[in-house]
Amino acid sequence: LVRLGLKAASFVMASDAPFDMLLRLSQDFPKHSSAIAATNVSTDFVQEHRANRDLLLPPGFNVLWINGVQIMPRDLDAYSLLEYLRRERKMINSVRELGLSGPEAINLLSHEAITASAVDQEAQRYDWRDDNEGGNIIMWMNGIEKDKRYMEWPSSISALLQRTYPGQLPPVRRSIHNLVITVDFSNYADVLTVIESLQNFVKRKVPIQFGLVPRFASDAGRQQAKTVYYLLDRYGLGAALAYLTNSVAGAGRKFSAPQEKYFAQAIEGRKLRRDRTVVSFADVPSDATLDERLLSAQAYFRRLGAGQATPPILINGVAIPHTDDWLQTMSQRVSVDSRMVQEAVYTSTVSQDDYLPDLFLASASLRRNPLIVPEDDKDIRHINLGELPNLSAFPSLPANPDTIDRELVRLTVAADFDTREGFEQLMEALLFRQQHDNVELAVLYVPSGNATSGAFAGECVQRDPCVKHIQSALDKYETLRATRYTDEEASSSVELSSSQRFELYRTMWAERMVGGSANDQTLQNARAPATVTSAIGVQAGQMALVLNGRVVGPVSSSQIIEVEDLETLLTYERKKRLLPAALAIEGLGLQEKASTPLAFAFISNLIALSQVSDVPDGIFEAAPTVRTGVFKQWNSTHTAIKTGGMENANVQIFSALDPASELAQRWLPIIKALSELDGVATTLFLNPKERLEELPVKRFYRHVLESKPLFDADGSLKSLSAHFGGLPAEALLNIGMDLPPSWLVAPKDSVHDLDNIKLSAVKTGADVEAIYELEHILIEGHSRDVTLGPPPRGAQLVLGTEADPHAADTIIMANLGYFQFKANPGVYNLALQKGRSEEIFRIDSAGTKGYAPQPGDNVTETALMSFRGATLFPRLSRRVGMEEEDVLEAPQSALENVAEGAERLLSQVGLSGAKTRKYLSKAAKFGSALIQGKSKPTDIPTEAHAEINIFSVASGHLYERMLNIMMLSVMKHTKHTVKFWFIEQFLSPSFKTFLPLMAEEYGFKYEMVTYKWPHWLRGQKEKQREIWGYKILFLDVLFPLDLDKVIFVDADQIVRTDMYELVQHDLEGAPYGFTPMCDSRTEMEGFRFWKQGYWKNFLRGLPYHISALYVVDLKKFRQIAAGDRLRQQYHQLSADPASLSNLDQDLPNHMQMALPIHSLPQEWLWCETWCSDAALKDAKTIDLCNNPQTKEPKLDRARRQVPEWTLYDDEIAGVAKRHKAGEAEGRPVADDAADAGVQGEEESIQERLQREDAESERERKRHDEL
């Protein structure tokens, strides 16, 4: 067993057809493992395997690359790969059109220079200091080198190398990390960030200096900024923070303009600083010195905020978006920068006297323009130059053919050059080109309708006259410059300032305006092709730049991109894309195919496009787009299986697989199907683990997938199926489905118990057959509240169509804002539920284009047109005045508001107390009831639910048989309406066939519910544990939102009371009620695990409850987000495989300190294992729980212990026989009965196994006694 993986890999490589052998071995690994274990390992294989592992990838890892891009495991399904291969073929064909072969194209895209630039994480930095604006702008909340609170810290830089806990920064009294955040002091959320988050960091002595810069968009913001500046200057930081704290505490979310009472509170008892004068509250807004500081702050804001409404936060000069998770991003950046400083200290790059932030400022830019250098490289947009017609025909000024630069640049300016702004943009681009001989400048004329000149349109109907016209404009500029400025300034090597340049442009423009604008025909002839302007996205009245396919803009025609910005653009693009492309072209000897700026632009553009995913980004890790060829260093003589010819392939697939792994079972058939496609070559490296501790694969596996359609002899399309043969006859097997993440599948037709298959019990010559049905495809997603930030927990969503506006509904989880709908292909509309959800929120967008807002995604419609399902990222915003409302709390009535006011008045005269509150509350509720009548406060006007709602789950024919008896026992003891709810995917086809007959016979309703286990929640491999998970983890989302109460009853229970009594039972504010475990059967004391070890210490006197019966107040459960908390705790605990051994019981019991459990009276559940015989007479339900001592089969115990059980069993069998005429033809009666979960002539597999276990236990006891 220890070397089984190595032996399997060596055995495969020694065979004549290794790929086929690997597939056969992997599919039936448990059957072949003993034979494999007897073989020897090839020395050649082991040596090559270990040599390859030293280069890359540890043993046992499974990885797959397509054309150098690593494919995420979750995307390795047929539908995802089909879409990916289509994109990849299109990309490679585009490169081939430039004259490269398929392998050359792949080698180019995956060249190490391209890979290195793509993984380079060095961030753009900006000079965060306020020296450029004259200083005294940033309000520093702390000074690490000066403040007393840091005096005990060492000041030596060598202390930076001391060991600290993970995530902790070394406490050193040196200014290293600086965070600057812009704050609107009239904005509640901004101020809250200052007085809570930032002030808390300072108090906890986090070694970061925090600075504030005021920004404002209203008069209230301007006044607040002046007030804070005044208090800081006259009384110090403490007064300013006290003022903000008092203002927010007093005004709440209505906080806006300054109020004198909070101003007075802030300065009360504080000393005025030396050489300062007092200014009254009324005179602060008109203080001239404060106006000057605000002007400087605005200049700082323009320099680094770049006109954004919410500018980013600067941490050590790196701009991070001011979003909900900025603290996490800041922490990551500080951690990276700390390592950078520590490395500089360790290598003596810096000394004790150096200013350490210079390490960050050395490469910092003074100005920030997110158009040029965005915070996230994914925000950069590239167009496909290869799809645009005849780019070489556009008017252009060529680059110098003798340039020594490796990278060639084609810069295209799109604007209306017959407007002043367009002309100025053209001149800035011309001056930029003049300074770089490797730049070719092309122009696209985009008429705006506002032209005041016709000079450009008149000359640029044809290419050559247009080029001359553009050159003449540059010559005119040089002439004007020479006459207007001194000899030194007029030199072309000396740059004029921005204001000087634009003064010359205005002079030139005055001359160009002579003659007026061009006529319509001239404009039409000069206009750039619509296909090009549409691809760029530029419209009339806008301007845009395109540098080797990268689009800057479009921007308003008034927003000129100046020479300095163009320099930044070239520097950034050279580092990120142009230089790596040039190195790759040189490395592969392709210089002749990139000898002109346009040809170089085509190649660098395609390389850039190959690194951009067209799959919308989600909130999880994005699919990698970086290409690599590092795996080509591996030796493939003895460890790799090859198919196809790499020399002609457009798609090259490299993979490393552990043959002794479950993942290999899933991937191998997919790789096999891909290898059969035209133009595909595969290289599969076997990567087994060196040592195994247990049998790694315990399942038989088939993947229903073919590379092309198959046909029968008569020409009809052949249906696909999975076939298993040669399986062990005595092993207990079950059938499971490995599905695409968005599929909901359930068994549709089978006469067999698919959860308990023992082939020795099947009739000779017969097969176990089953048909499964794809019932739904998921529409799922992650929603967020853009007003407050966190997920809109509890908001209710509705999915509708034109025919059915309320096709499905669900609730948004607090866990990642997750939701899901069962759907089928079609067009849907996403809406909010009528009631509280719609009153508080509105849907800004369904988020069909990804998590981040995109142009044109402000729609609520979505289409499900793929077997991959659909993932949405809805953005919800709160309506005005609803910022503090909780969607899960009912709104207060007017009388309740009066009651609150009355309580406050009474408390002032000493009459407040618990009794007072009790009577006021009752009066309010009574009054509200009189006003509202009998109307039910619900969001969903639907038909009334049953009075008793019972939820259960069963798997296997034995438990379905007991489930029928449980249902009958419920109906025998009540006259109230009953509805049963079942989780569909665990039920057999025969049970679902028989259920309508039971419902008709006994007058109950039923409904199938299901919920796909979310991909982000840790799953369970064992079916029984998965069932336990469904019992407790999804109670808030399984049922309709208007269902108030549901009772879970185990399938193996018999009910002896009216369950309406439990519906009416008062849970005393708890979300659910369980029955405590019995203590009355004393002889079982040694088996009571909850009274021993971990549980005894954890519970500390609290009862341990059994999960066989419980009642859930769904309204309360959702209101306190119990489902979210259970899932969160489950995800943490389930990381340890040894925890939650009884998942459905252990989880709620483990959480009862946080989620209280109401303990039901003991008589609600009697179980012979734990409860005394004397308590049986009072039992309301009887549970057939297992006995660890006797291991008595459940049916034997049921017949012995519960007299009515056999009567119920016979009665249900009679129902089955009366309706057998309606059953499918040709099946034996016994099978009908057994399949329907009712009494049959033959015992089920489960019964047989239980009987055999009991006999073995009795035999073991007799042996022990002897």
User: Does a structural domain hold residue 1026?
Assistant: yes
Kindly state whether residues 1097 and 1148 are assigned to the same domain. Answer: yes
Would you say residue 296 has pLDDT above 60? yes
Kind of pairing between the strands at 209-214 and 178-183: parallel
Kindly state whether residues 349 and 481 are assigned to the same domain. Answer: no
Amino acid at site 110: S
Structure tokens at 1009: 């519910």
Residue 177: per-residue pLDDT: 95
Kindly state whether residues 900 and 864 are assigned to the same domain. Answer: no
Spatial contact of 121 and 576, defined as CB atoms under 8 Å apart: no
For residues 634-641, average pLDDT = 94
Kindly state whether residues 565 and 423 are assigned to the same domain. Answer: yes
User: Does a structural domain hold residue 1170?
Assistant: yes
Kindly state whether residues 1054 and 1123 are assigned to the same domain. Answer: yes
Would you say residue 26 has pLDDT above 90? yes
State the CATH number of the domain containing residue 197: 3.40.30
Q: Residue 450's closest CA among 418, 413, 426, 414?
A: 418
Q: How confident is the model at residue 439 (pLDDT cuts 50, 70, 90)?
A: very high
State the CATH number of the domain containing residue 535: 3.40.30.10
Kindly state whether residues 220 and 304 are assigned to the same domain. Answer: yes
- Report the C-alpha gap between 1074 and 1162 in whole angstroms: 10
Residue 1243: per-residue pLDDT: 54
Residue 457: per-residue pLDDT: 79
- Report the C-alpha gap between 301 and 308 in whole angstroms: 9
3-state secondary structure of 1116: helix
Spatial contact of 520 and 526, defined as CB atoms under 8 Å apart: no
3-state secondary structure of 105: helix
β-pair partners for 511: none
User: Does a structural domain hold residue 743?
Assistant: no
User: Does a structural domain hold residue 539?
Assistant: yes
User: Does a structural domain hold residue 479?
Assistant: yes
Kindly state whether residues 294 and 410 are assigned to the same domain. Answer: no
Better pLDDT: 541 or 893: 541
CA 712, 713, 718 angle in degrees (round to 5)? 0
Residue 483: per-residue pLDDT: 86
3-state secondary structure of 1076: strand
For residues 369-377, average pLDDT = 80
State the CATH number of the domain containing residue 801: 2.60.40.10
For residues 847-864, average pLDDT = 84
- Report the C-alpha gap between 449 and 456 in whole angstroms: 14
Kindly state whether residues 435 and 352 are assigned to the same domain. Answer: no
3-state secondary structure of 859: coil
Spatial contact of 300 and 363, defined as CB atoms under 8 Å apart: no
Would you say residue 1250 has pLDDT above 80? no
Better pLDDT: 827 or 274: 827
Residue 430: per-residue pLDDT: 94
Residue 636: per-residue pLDDT: 92
User: Does a structural domain hold residue 1?
Assistant: no
Residue 926: per-residue pLDDT: 47
Q: Residue 330's closest CA among 175, 162, 167, 214?
A: 167
For residues 117-121, average pLDDT = 72
Kindly state whether residues 874 and 1022 are assigned to the same domain. Answer: no
Would you say residue 56 has pLDDT above 60? yes
User: Does a structural domain hold residue 818?
Assistant: yes
Kindly state whether residues 392 and 266 are assigned to the same domain. Answer: no
Counting Cα atoms < 13 Å in the Cβ hemisphere of 50 gives 7
User: Does a structural domain hold residue 18?
Assistant: no
Residue ending a domain, among 832, 849, 878, is: 878
Would you say residue 490 has pLDDT above 70? no
Q: What is the pLDDT of residues 933-942, one digit of tens each?
A: 433 344 444 5
Q: What is the pLDDT of residues 1065-1123, one digit of tens each?
A: 999 999 999 999 998 888 888 888 898 888 989 998 899 999 999 999 999 998 888 99
Would you say residue 444 has pLDDT above 70? yes
Residue 766: per-residue pLDDT: 85
Q: What is the pLDDT of residues 184-243, one digit of tens each?
A: 999 888 999 999 899 999 999 999 999 999 988 889 989 999 999 999 999 999 999 999
State the CATH number of the domain containing residue 1109: 3.90.550.10
**pTM higher than 0.85 for the full model?**
no
The one-character DSSP state at 872 is E
Would you say residue 925 has pLDDT above 70? no
Residue 518: per-residue pLDDT: 66
1211 phi and psi, to 5 degrees? -65, -40
- Report the C-alpha gap between 571 and 705 in whole angstroms: 49
For residues 998-1023, average pLDDT = 91
- Which of 432-441, 515-524, 655-664, 724-733 is the least confident region? 515-524
Residue with tokens 């999804």: 1034
Kindly state whether residues 410 and 522 are assigned to the same domain. Answer: yes
For residues 1025-1042, average pLDDT = 91
Q: Residue 866's closest CA among 966, 748, 742?
A: 742
1259 phi and psi, to 5 degrees? -65, -40
**Structural domains counted in the chain:** 5
Q: What is the pLDDT of residues 573-602, one digit of tens each?
A: 998 899 999 999 998 888 888 889 999 999
Residue 939: per-residue pLDDT: 43
Q: How confident is the model at residue 643 (pLDDT cuts 50, 70, 90)?
A: very high
The range of the structural domain enclosing residue 900 comes to: 894-932
- Strand boundaries in 873-947, DSSP class E: 875-878
Prior bond of 398 cis (ω within 30°): no
Would you say residue 1029 has pLDDT above 90? yes
Spatial contact of 153 and 172, defined as CB atoms under 8 Å apart: yes
Give the alpha-carbon dihedral of 848, 849, 851, 852, to 10 degrees: -140
For residues 148-155, average pLDDT = 93
Highest average pLDDT, of 17-31, 114-128, 911-925, comes from 17-31
Kindly state whether residues 1062 and 1126 are assigned to the same domain. Answer: yes
Q: What is the pLDDT of residues 1179-1204, one digit of tens each?
A: 999 999 888 887 888 888 888 889 89
